[in-house]
Structure 1
Amino acid sequence: MKALQYTAYGHSPVVNDIPKPVPGPGEVLVRVAGAALNPLDVKIGGGYVQAYFPITFPSTVGTDLAGTVEQLGSGVRGWNVGDAVITRTDPTVGGAVAEYAVVPATSLVPAPTTIPLEAAAGLATAAATAWQAVSEIAALKSGQKVLVHAGAGGVGSFVVQLAHRAGAHVVTTASSAAAEIVRKLGADEVIDYTSVDFRAAVSDVDVVVDSVGGETEARSLDVLKPGGLLVSLPVPPDFERAAARGLRAEFVFHTSDADRLARVVEVANEGLDIVIDRTVRLSGAADAFDYLAQGHAKGKVIVQP
């Protein structure tokens, strides 16, 4: 079978022919319908997160996949061949961007029925991270004001929707080209980050969800009301700097969690849009990986075998 693989840190991944995997005890072989690329995949391939997610080369790229159950390993109960499923694999294992993947049966969740199967892969990390940020860490409430940075991004697009569902007043930064996208997702106000300093456009914010980091994180403290919360997605925030200003800061360290993903699927079935920047075939996955690394994707990049 074909798979997109890292061959060395700092090198673009390549499509290789590798043996079709065989499920062991407690595992399931999934025929992949679609895999979603994430910024974490770029960080893993670049060697930036070796301390947290070491890999052994060659290693198949990707954690997020959707597909159908092809074969059951011994001892697996509760799943049948042909079931439509989604999952997020351990980042040190990867394996998503391939024609087939072996995953633990306990990591599987029934795929949503309202979304094309290949697109559902886009929920596994991005939507679940957004859920963690909005519902678990921020516990966003109706009437609160939230600023979402990069609202048209893979995670940001779900944060906007979940914050809107919670009844919050949603302000987001986005380019003018993406303004209509985020408005349709539920943004009440859109700030064009290419021409406007968001600090001049919004204030008295209860929660900032930041998927950008760096100077954006530092400047976000200026718009929070006393006791407000900064939720950081890319890296741990400067906790001491926030505390010194009477503010709170939290870091979303997202881990694979079937229970959380199942809740996300419930919400998706009730109505959750997946913004897809592009869908490519596996043969073009290396170029799609490099495109994602440039940081300008609006929504998810999906790879289909």
Structure 2
Amino acid sequence: MKAFIIERYGKKAVGRIGEMPTPDMGDDDVLVQIHAASVNPLDTKIKSGEFKLILPYRLPLVLGNDMAGTVVRVGARVRNFKPGDEVYARPDDDRIGTFAEFIAIKASSVALKPKNLSMVEAAAIPLVALTAWQILVETAKLKKGQKVFIQAGSGGVGTVAIQLAKHLGAFVATTTSTANVDWAKALGADVVIDYKKQDFAAELRDYDVVLNSLGNDELKKSMQILKPGGHLISISGPPTPTFAASRGLAWPLKQVLRLLSFSIRKQAKKSAKHYTFLFMRADGAHLSKITGLVELGVIRPIVDKVFPFADTHKGLAYVDSGRTKGKVVVQMI
């Protein structure tokens, strides 16, 4: 099959379209012909080598972390899917590779595609929607009337998290650039901070939850705007000892992560607040619930640009530029 492959790590590594074996299937897997796959910042970070200690992939590696497509074969123990089903998924992080013609995925990580979305639109949903769900619903247990600050509201996770938080009844603040302020308000944000003109730490107070997706400066400021008992949840780090234990990481790496997260964990404890690092996981049950919300019109995908499969490298470069508004999708079919 044709696939987009990287053969070495590095910021300047471009990758190429090449031939790879069609993935082997297990009894609990489905084999999916991929119609479209979206590009995530995670893909560019994997390509640059940022995650090689936590995610030790073997090279050459097929990139890609979510997709939409058609089931072509099911494993012997699979009962809830059949050939011809239109599905979407974020594969488990040890079995990525959606920039390809086919992928084998655990059936438990797959959900039926929302009926009201095209393949391109559906491909933009899984990773970012699962991230938003696992932060707001599963970890923060966000309740009606609570205040949540979602950084980078025009990004892939931000656009979905704003919509989900409003559905849950929360008061939502976010940040974006001057050009996207009105657009973020139209998504549902109650307060939009123009980060080019305003400092969110000077504008916001007494928030229950913060979704951090930016750097260390924003992380420290985010802790300041939380009320006592508030919860700062970061998808950009630093990872914690709890995360290291959940991944079964080696003792030396656990100590490295302990040191990296020491300052923010100390700050949280001192101010009677909570800090969690979240690395989202594949989950077909969560994705099925998200499907229901998409079909009700509660969540809609925001697709910025669509690239043909041959231009996957251009899609990665565009996401790496940090100028995306919603999601970037690579179309195979």
**TM-score between the two structures when normalised by the length of structure 1:** 0.94
Matches within 5 A, 1:202-217: 202-217=204-219
For residues 314 and 21 of structure 2, the distance between their equivalents in structure 1, rounded to whole angstroms, comes to 23
Q: How many residues align?
A: 305
For residues 257 and 239 of structure 1, the distance between their equivalents in structure 2, rounded to whole angstroms, comes to 28
1:246 is aligned, of 272, 281, 302, to: 272
Matches within 5 A, 1:1-305: 1-10=1-10, 11-21=13-23, 23-235=25-237, 236=239, 238-271=264-297, 272-305=299-332
For residues 221 and 6 of structure 2, the distance between their equivalents in structure 1, rounded to whole angstroms, comes to 36
Moved more, 102-111 or 295-304: 102-111
Q: Quote the offset at 1:22 in angstroms.
A: 5.3
Is contact 1:185–1:273 with CA below 8 Å preserved after alignment?
no
Is contact 2:130–2:286 with CA below 8 Å preserved after alignment?
yes
Shift in alpha-carbon separation, 1:73–1:188, aligned structure 2, 3 A = same
Is contact 2:5–2:61 with CA below 8 Å preserved after alignment?
yes
Is contact 2:45–2:51 with CA below 8 Å preserved after alignment?
yes
Q: Quote the offset at 1:274 in angstroms.
A: 0.9
Shift in alpha-carbon separation, 1:67–1:244, aligned structure 2, 3 A = same
Q: Quote the offset at 1:13 in angstroms.
A: 1.9
Q: Quote the offset at 1:197 in angstroms.
A: 0.8
Is contact 1:239–1:249 with CA below 8 Å preserved after alignment?
yes
Q: Which amino acid aligns with 1:7?
A: E
For residues 223 and 26 of structure 1, the distance between their equivalents in structure 2, rounded to whole angstroms, comes to 45
Is contact 1:55–1:93 with CA below 8 Å preserved after alignment?
no
> Structure 2 regions of 5+ residues with no counterpart?
240-260
Q: Quote the offset at 1:76 in angstroms.
A: 3.3
Is contact 1:280–1:304 with CA below 8 Å preserved after alignment?
yes
For residues 21 and 223 of structure 1, the distance between their equivalents in structure 2, rounded to whole angstroms, comes to 47
Is contact 2:5–2:16 with CA below 8 Å preserved after alignment?
yes
Question: Which is richer in helix?
Answer: 2
For residues 147 and 76 of structure 1, the distance between their equivalents in structure 2, rounded to whole angstroms, comes to 40
**TM-score between the two structures when normalised by the length of structure 2:** 0.87
* Percent of matched pairs sharing the same residue: 37
For residues 240 and 119 of structure 1, the distance between their equivalents in structure 2, rounded to whole angstroms, comes to 41
> Structure 1 regions of 5+ residues with no counterpart?
none
For residues 208 and 303 of structure 2, the distance between their equivalents in structure 1, rounded to whole angstroms, comes to 29
Is contact 1:27–1:72 with CA below 8 Å preserved after alignment?
yes
SS at match of 1:141: coil
